[in-house]
Structure 1
Amino acid sequence: MTETPPTLAPTTLAPTLAGLTRAFLAVGILSFGGPAAQIALMHRLAVEDRGWLDEGQFLRALNFCMLLPGPEAQQLATYIGWRLKGWRGGVIAGGLFVLPGALVMLALSVAYVLFATSPLIGGLFFGIKAAVLAIVLEALIRISRRVLKQRQAQAVAVAALLAVGLFALPFPLVVAGAALAGALLFAAAAEAPPAAARPAAAGLWPAAIAALLWLAPLGLIAATLGPGHVLFEIGAFFAKLAVVTFGGAYAILAYLAEQAVGRGWASPADMLTGLGLAETTPGPLILVTQFAGFLGAYRAPEPFAPLAAGLLGAAVTTWVTFAPSFLWIFAGAPWLETLQANRRLAAALQGITAAVVGVMAHLAAWFALHALFAAVETVRLGPVRLLVPDPASFDVRAAVLAAIAMALVFVARRGLVATVAIMAGLGVLASLI
C-alpha cells in the first residue's frame, strides 16, 4: 500500500530520504539543552536554513504537538518528517531525534552501575545531584512566571500540589482533573466552528501499525516470561505513563521517582542522578525513564545476567515511552487545524499546564529532602501523607554543593551544561576531602 505525503508549498524544496536522515541525525546529536533549545534548532533547520516549512506551518505544528502527551520536541521532529516524506520521513526524523541521546544515556547507565562505588565516579554523580536541585528550582520559577498569571491558574496549581504532595493521588487522575478544571475555567466561549480538516485516511494505517508495534513487546514478554516478570511491569508502567505525560517531563518526574522508589527499581539518589544525566545529554529529558527502567531490570535480573537484564529493561522502556509519539502524529496530524480550533481543548491544556507547576513544586521539595537528608520517613495521618526528614541525617556536604549550584544558576547565570560540569568537578573534589 502506498502513501501520498502531504502536499508542500510550490517553493518548498523537499529533501530526499537520505538528506532528511543526515539532517535529523545531526539534530539528534546536537539536541542539548531541553525542549526550548531543541525546538529552536529545528526551527533553524526547517524554516530558516532549508525552507521546508514556513513560519506559520512551523508554529501550527508546534502548537499541535503541545496538545499531545509525550515529548513535544520529538513529536515536532516526527511531524516535520511526516510532512516532508510521509510516514517514512516521520519514522526517520522522530527516531533519529531520540536515538543518539538514548545510546548516550544507556552508556551512562552501564557506567553508573559498574563504577558508582568508585570514589571518583561516586563524587562525580554526587555533584550532579546537587546541580539537579538548582536546575529544577530554576525551571519551576521560569514556568510559573509564564503560566500562573491568572488566579484560576494559581488555584489549579495549588490543588495539584496538594493532590500529589499530601494526598498522593495518582498522576493520571491529577491530569484528568486539571483538564476538566481548565475546560470549565479557561474557555472564553463555547467551541469555535472547526476548521476544514484534511482527510485522515492517509494517517490511519500507519497509526494502526504504530499502535500494534507499541504494545507488541508487552505481549511477547507476557507470553515468554509471564505478566509478573519485572520487564512486563516496567513496560506496562511506562506505557501507561506515556499517555499522560502532558506538560513535559517535569510534570511526571515526581510521580515517576516515587513509583520507581516504591517499586524497588531505584533509590531517591538514583533518580536525582538520572535526572542530572538526562539534563546534560542530547535528546528529550524524558530519557530519564530509560535510566529508571535499566536500574529496575538490572536489580531483578532473573533469568538473565544483571547487565543483560538492564539492557532489556532500557530497551523496553525506551520503546514504550517514545513509540506512542509516532502514533499521535500519524493519526492526528491530518486533523491539525480542526484540533487547534477547539477552544475547549485548548482550555483543557491550559489547565493541565497550570497543574504542572504544582506537580513541579512537589518534585522540587521531594528531590531537596532526599538530597539533603539521608533518612526521609513517610508519615500518614488518615488520607494525608507527609514526608518527614530525620534531622540527624542532614548531609552538610550536599547542602554546601546545593548552595554553590544555586549561586551558579541564579547569581552567576551559568548555563545548564556548565553548571552540571562544574558541580560534577566539585563533587569529585568533595569525595577526596
Structure 2
Amino acid sequence: MEAPTLLDITRVGLRIGVLSFGGPTAQIALMHKELVEDRPWLTEEQYLRALSFCMLLPGPEAMQLATYAGWRLRGIPGGLIAGSLFVIPGAVVIMALALLYARFGEVPLIEAMFLGIKAAVVVIVAQALVKIARRALTGTAQRLMAVLGFIALFFFDVPFPAVILIAGIVGAFLARGQTHEPTGAGVSPARTLRVFLVGGVIWALPLVLALSLNADLLVAAWTFFSKLAVVTFGGAYAVLAYMTQEVVQDLGWLTTEQMIAALGLAETTPGPLILVTQFVAALTGVSQGGTGLAFAMAGITLWATFVPCFIWIFAGAPYIDWLAGRPKLTGALTMITAAVVGVIANLSLWFALHVLFASNAVEEAGPLRVLVPDLSSFSPTALALTALAALLLMRFGWSIPLALAVLAAAGGVAGAL
C-alpha cells in the first residue's frame, strides 16, 4: 500500500479531532475505525502495541496515539500534524467556553445550570474510576497499591508526585522476568538524546519569552502546567485533585466551584480532557488582566501541556519493542497505573463532597488531614441531580454531551423553583 500523503493525514486527522468526543475510550475506538478498519494505515498489531505504549506514558494517551500514527506514516511532520489536529478543535471550543463562563458564570440561572453539570461530573469521574480499576487492578499487589494511594492522598495529604514516585519504585522492585536485548527499528541513544534536547529547547521557548517580558503570571503558568505534564500518568482525572489544590489553595487562581465547572465544560468538547488546563489558565487570565491575558495564558498552557507529548512519542516510539523486554520498567509503570486508581478514588470522593455539601472543612490531627463536610450544608437538590446523572449515564448509557445538556437544564429548572 502506498503511504498516505501529509494532506491525507491532515484530512483524516482533522476528522478525528472534530469527532473525538466522549473521553479516551471513545477516542481510541474512533481512531481504530479510521486508521485500521476504514483505511489500512496501521495493522491491528501495530495499533495495539502503540496503544499499550501510550497508556504507559504521562499525558493523554489518545492524543499520543494519534501522534504516533502520524509519525509512523510520515515521520515527525506527520506526527506533528496528527497530534496537533487532535487538540486544536477542542482548544478552540474550550477558549470560547472559558470566555463565556467568565462573562456569565455568576448569573443566578447560569449558576443553577452549573450545579447540574457538577452533579454529572461526580458520576463521570466515578465511571472513569470503575473503567480504569478493571484494567489496572489485575492482582493483589495492584489492589493494595490502589488502596494505599487513596489513603495517602485523602487522609495524609501526600503530594501526588510522591505517590507516583513511590508506586514506580515498588513496581520496579516487585517486577519479575528476564531483560532482553534491545530491538526495534530506529533505536539509537544518540537520536533519542537529540530529540530530548531539541524538544526541551522548543518546550522552554515560551518560558524564555515570558521571563524576558517579566510576565510573572505567564512564568507561573508555564512552570505549573509543565510540571503537571510530566506526572499525568493515568490521564487528566489522576491529576485533577492535585491541580485543584495548587490552583485553588496555593496559587489562588480559581475557586473550587470554578474548577469543577471547568471539568464539566471540558467533558462537552472534543479532544483530550486535559484541555481543562487551558480553561483554568484562560479563566485566570480574564480575572487578572482581561481577554488579552486570557489568550496568552491559554497559549502558554497549551504549549506546556502538549509539547511534552510530542517529545515522548518522537523519542520513545522506536523503543516500543525494546520496552517489552524491560520487565522492571514495565512493572514500575504498571504499579503507577494501579496507584492512579487510588488517586482517582480520592478525586471522586473530593468532587462528591464539594457538590453535595456547600461547606467543607479540613480537620487535622497530627499527620492526618481529612476533608470533613458540614452536614447542615447538605443539598438535596444536588443529590437529586447526581441521581439523575447516574441514571442517564450508567443505567441508560447516554453520551456525556447529551447528559450534560439535560443536567444543565434540570439544574436551571431546579434553581428557578
TM interval, short-chain normalised:
over 0.9
* Residue number among 88, 93, 111 corresponding to 2:82 in the alignment: 93
Determine if contact 2:60/2:235 at 8 Å carries over to the other structure.
yes
CA distance in structure 1 between the aligned counterparts of 2:103 and 2:402, rounded to whole angstroms: 26
Q: TM-score, normalised by structure 1?
A: 0.92
Within the alignment, does 1:394 sit opposite 2:378 as a pair?
yes
CA distance in structure 2 between the aligned counterparts of 1:182 and 1:30, rounded to whole angstroms: 37
* 2:212 corresponds to: 223
CA distance in structure 1 between the aligned counterparts of 2:287 and 2:367, rounded to whole angstroms: 32
- Which stretch shows the higher mean deviation, 398-407 or 238-247? 398-407
User: Whose helix proportion is higher, 1 or 2?
Assistant: 2
Within the alignment, does 1:30 sit opposite 2:14 as a pair?
no
SS in 1 for 2:288: coil
How far residue 195 of structure 1 moved from its aligned partner, in angstroms, is 2.6
SS in 1 for 2:369: strand
* Residue number among 206, 226, 236 corresponding to 1:239 in the alignment: 226
* Residue number among 244, 268, 276 corresponding to 1:288 in the alignment: 276
* Residue number among 196, 199, 203 corresponding to 1:210 in the alignment: 199
Determine if contact 1:13/1:52 at 8 Å carries over to the other structure.
no
* Residue number among 382, 385, 404 corresponding to 1:420 in the alignment: 404
Determine if contact 1:156/1:178 at 8 Å carries over to the other structure.
yes
CA distance in structure 2 between the aligned counterparts of 1:422 and 1:98, rounded to whole angstroms: 26
* 1:358 corresponds to: 342
Within the alignment, does 1:267 sit opposite 2:251 as a pair?
no
How far residue 266 of structure 1 moved from its aligned partner, in angstroms, is 1.4
How far residue 188 of structure 1 moved from its aligned partner, in angstroms, is 3.0
SS in 2 for 1:194: coil
CA distance in structure 1 between the aligned counterparts of 2:258 and 2:406, rounded to whole angstroms: 20
CA distance in structure 1 between the aligned counterparts of 2:394 and 2:45, rounded to whole angstroms: 35
Determine if contact 2:199/2:311 at 8 Å carries over to the other structure.
yes
CA distance in structure 2 between the aligned counterparts of 1:60 and 1:360, rounded to whole angstroms: 25
Determine if contact 2:183/2:319 at 8 Å carries over to the other structure.
no
Q: Which runs of 5+ in 2 are unaligned?
A: none
SS in 2 for 1:300: helix
Determine if contact 1:17/1:89 at 8 Å carries over to the other structure.
yes
CA distance in structure 1 between the aligned counterparts of 2:372 and 2:181, rounded to whole angstroms: 52
* Residue number among 25, 31, 41 corresponding to 1:52 in the alignment: 41
1:134-161 C-alpha deviation (Å, 9 max, x unpaired)? 1111221232233223211111011111
Determine if contact 1:61/1:336 at 8 Å carries over to the other structure.
yes
**Aligned residue runs from structure 1 range 26-425, under 5 A:** 26-185=15-174, 187-200=175-188, 205=194, 207-225=196-214, 229-262=216-249, 263-301=251-289, 306-425=290-409
How far residue 355 of structure 1 moved from its aligned partner, in angstroms, is 0.4
CA distance in structure 2 between the aligned counterparts of 1:39 and 1:340, rounded to whole angstroms: 21
Matched to 1:396, the amino acid is P
Aligned CA distance change for structure 1 residues 204 and 47 (closer, same or farther; 3 Å): farther
Root-mean-square deviation (CA), in Å?
1.7
CA distance in structure 2 between the aligned counterparts of 1:152 and 1:384, rounded to whole angstroms: 25
- Which stretch shows the higher mean deviation, 189-198 or 62-71? 189-198
Determine if contact 1:69/1:244 at 8 Å carries over to the other structure.
yes
1:96-145 C-alpha deviation (Å, 9 max, x unpaired)? 10000011011101110101123333333221111001111122123223
Aligned CA distance change for structure 1 residues 208 and 50 (closer, same or farther; 3 Å): farther
Q: Which runs of 5+ in 1 are unaligned?
A: 1-11
Matched to 2:300, the amino acid is V
CA distance in structure 1 between the aligned counterparts of 2:195 and 2:177, rounded to whole angstroms: 35
SS in 2 for 1:70: coil
How far residue 332 of structure 1 moved from its aligned partner, in angstroms, is 1.3
CA distance in structure 2 between the aligned counterparts of 1:202 and 1:42, rounded to whole angstroms: 28
CA distance in structure 1 between the aligned counterparts of 2:301 and 2:136, rounded to whole angstroms: 31
Determine if contact 1:68/1:328 at 8 Å carries over to the other structure.
yes
Percent identity over paired residues: 49
How far residue 408 of structure 1 moved from its aligned partner, in angstroms, is 2.0
CA distance in structure 1 between the aligned counterparts of 2:154 and 2:24, rounded to whole angstroms: 26
Aligned CA distance change for structure 1 residues 92 and 207 (closer, same or farther; 3 Å): farther
Matched to 1:66, the amino acid is M
- Which stretch shows the higher mean deviation, 194-203 or 362-371? 194-203
Determine if contact 1:131/1:423 at 8 Å carries over to the other structure.
yes
How far residue 193 of structure 1 moved from its aligned partner, in angstroms, is 3.6
Determine if contact 1:190/1:344 at 8 Å carries over to the other structure.
no
SS in 1 for 2:361: strand
- Which stretch shows the higher mean deviation, 113-122 or 319-328? 113-122
- Which stretch shows the higher mean deviation, 407-416 or 347-356? 407-416
